[in-house]
Amino acid sequence: MNTTSTRIAVLMFLILAVACPSLAAGPETVRRKIVQGDTIRGLILGANCISSMEDYSRVREAFAGLNPDLAHSALLKPGIEVPVPVLFKGKGCLSFREQRIVRVEFEGGADMEKVFVYLDGPVLPDVFTLRQTQPVRVVCDFDGVLPEAGLQRDVDAGGRMIRKVRVGHEDKPYRRARVVLDVDEAVAGRVEQEFFEQKSLFVLTVREAAKN
């Protein structure tokens, strides 16, 4: 590109940045003062018209970028203000109705192990690791979700990496289901997550750590 075209390109970007501040300043945001019972999922759905889990995943990623210290809803302290990204507006939004975990299954493999969480609607959890505990725990918090009555709460996986899977829930300060994986840190490596929207199925995969 020659000097003239470079100057034109820079000038065009500056014009667009003035006309569209989001290009220069990141996503549009609204500030929300946290009250008792707020959840990250509720904040996102309240500020955006989410019509798919792909939409939700994009906004959740933007929320994490704006609030790197808020990995899950339990860290939302009443009285603080947080920026919430606004990426989607319109109609056909998902509701924040209460949903259920209906089944949890474990599947072993040679170099990976999986946990399948079946729900009755589309919900993506906040996933984080508690390394200060023994055994190390991978935690999946499903805000606005409860376990189905009669759901098996303890799965004795007996895998090399995933030893046990437990399901619990809390009603206060907000309703939340929690799926906890007890993992063997010595052999467990990368943790991957997938959501299959048509099946309302969340899959957590723990891969074997690379051998030196």
Quick one: average pLDDT of 15-29?
A: 56
Secondary structure (H, E, C), 93-151: CCCCCCEEEEEEEEECCCCEEEEEEEECCCCCCEEEEECCCCCEEEEEEEECEEECCCC
In whole angstroms, what separates CA 144 from the centre of its chain? Answer: 13
**What is the pLDDT at residue 54?**
86
Question: What span, in angstroms and rounded, lies between the C-alpha atoms of 57 and 14?
Answer: 30
* pLDDT tens by residue, 141-152: 999 899 999 998
pLDDT band at 9, cuts 50/70/90?
Answer: very low
Is residue 67 left, alpha or beta, with left meaning phi > 0 and alpha meaning psi from -120 to 50?
beta
Q: What is the mean pLDDT of residues 115-121?
A: 93
Residue with tokens 């996102």: 44
DSSP symbol at 20? -
Task: Say what the pLDDT of residue 83 is.
Answer: 97
CA 189, CA 174: separation in Å to the nearest integer?
32
The rounded distance, in Å, linking the Cα atoms of 164 and 182 is 5
Predicted confidence at residue 10, as pLDDT, reads: 36
Provide the whole-model pTM.
0.74
Taking residues 161-180, report their average pLDDT.
Answer: 91
**pLDDT-based confidence at residue 53 (cuts at 50, 70, 90):** confident
